[in-house]
Structure 1
Amino acid sequence: MKVTSSEFVISAVGPKQYPEDGLHEIALVGRSNVGKSSLLNKMMNRKGLARISSRPGKTQTLNYFRVNQMLYFVDFPGYGYAKVAKSIKETWGKMIEGYLKNRQELRFVIQLVDIRHAPSKDDIAMYDWCKQIGIPTVVVATKGDKIARGRWLQHTKVIRQSLRLRGDDTIIIFSSETGQGKDELWGEILRRLRANDQEPEMDSQQEIPATVSNKTTE
């Protein structure tokens, strides 16, 4: 997809601050330092729009980024960072739970995992949580440039088995350095949004009908 406009809109701490224009929303979740900001910048063609922090766990809000006046990327706080205070983690948890369960504009979740490592307990818990709520998920294996291309299949197999990928959920290998996976991820986003638009009565907690089989990008 050609990105003609992208902008940061708001750092929201609750429903009263969420945009009210009814645009599709796609949530980005993942561990701290998994590369969410780098992915956002690459997808939006805006270097530095999503700030890359040297201090993991710094993001404490839902950060809204509007693209082409047609959708929002909603950047979640990174999970799994031990140095974040327990009270802050509890606040994050309530905010995230409320958003995932109640936000009608949410269409699906993009969950980022580091391709170099097996998914953590937090990664597995997040994926399972999305499945329990009924939210479709696209798994993006980041930092694809950090391992040899010939090992991609081996590593994505571990991710697939650890998360126990279900339904129409897909794995896409991504690199913010080389742009690997950018076009495919945009293609998957647009495919899912079109599927949603063709089912006007489907709410944000129902599964999007499968149109392609589960596959691993090579």
Structure 2
Amino acid sequence: MAKILKSEFIKGVIGDDYSTEDGLPHVSFFGRSNAGKSSVINSLVGKKNLVKTSKLPGKTREANFFRIDDSFFLVDFPGYGYAKCSVSERNKMIKRILWYVEFSNVRPQAIFLIIDAKVGLTVLDRDMIKIIKENKHNIVIVANKIDKLSQSVARKQLLSIQKEAQDIPVLGYSAKTHKGKDELTQTIASFL
């Protein structure tokens, strides 16, 4: 997969049925609210509005399935952490994410954890990494918004994130400038 040529929204899931009729593999995107998951997906597929984005945290409220090049599903999960919704709604979203990681009959080929490069790994990110690793999923950290840092600060921040992440691959990315797009596309392809 050198370049994504076709992408389409297939379904949104609020419950726990993550299966798909065609049985294509899944690649899932997790991350804190406002880390830029939806923007990364739009950048990756080369469309501005495949995934709805918002400056308000918590725009994504369901697991959204996008069929990519008729070869796999990219699944965009709701952000964890702060969202413009009730505490009970936020807790339900987190429970759905955890259920998917721990109990779903559909195992993703890999989980890409989108973080804000400027912020680095948060307590919530560390907790999510621990749960993902305990359940033996492949994981890659994508440090988005790298364009908001100078080159030297970005380099130091990525090294710091990599040191903390230990054996988990860390990719720098900019949904705005598409920096890191080829590397992310190749990394996704390596799991398929």
Confirm or deny a common fold (TM above 0.5): yes
1:181 counterpart = 2:180: yes
Q: Deviations over 1:65-111 (max 9, x none)?
A: 11100111111111110653221122112211221222434111000
2:145 alignment partner in structure 1? 143
1:104 counterpart = 2:103: no
Q: CA RMSD in A?
A: 1.6
Any unmatched runs of 5+ in structure 1? 194-218
> Which AA in structure 2 matches 1:128?
K
> Which AA in structure 2 matches 1:25?
H
Aligned to 1:156, the other structure's residue is in SS state helix
2:77 alignment partner in structure 1? 76
Deviation at 1:140, TM superposition (A): 0.4
Aligned to 1:189, the other structure's residue is in SS state helix
Distance in 1 between the 2:83 and 2:160 partners? Answer: 24
Deviation at 1:147, TM superposition (A): 0.7
Any unmatched runs of 5+ in structure 2? none
> Which AA in structure 2 matches 1:146?
K
1:124 alignment partner in structure 2? 126
Q: Which has the larger radius of gyration?
A: 1
TM-score by length of 1: 0.81
Contact 2:83-2:90 within 8 A present in 1 as well: no
2:26 alignment partner in structure 1? 25
Aligned length: 190
2:157 alignment partner in structure 1? 155
> How high is the sequence identity, in percent, across the aligned residues?
33
1:35 alignment partner in structure 2? 36
Q: Deviating runs (4+, > 6 A) in structure 1? A: none
Contact 1:12-1:18 within 8 A present in 2 as well: no
1:57 alignment partner in structure 2? 58
Aligned to 1:28, the other structure's residue is in SS state strand
Deviation at 1:17, TM superposition (A): 6.1
Aligned to 1:130, the other structure's residue is in SS state helix
Distance in 2 between the 1:10 and 1:32 partners? Answer: 21
Deviation at 1:144, TM superposition (A): 1.1
Distance in 1 between the 2:122 and 2:10 partners? Answer: 31
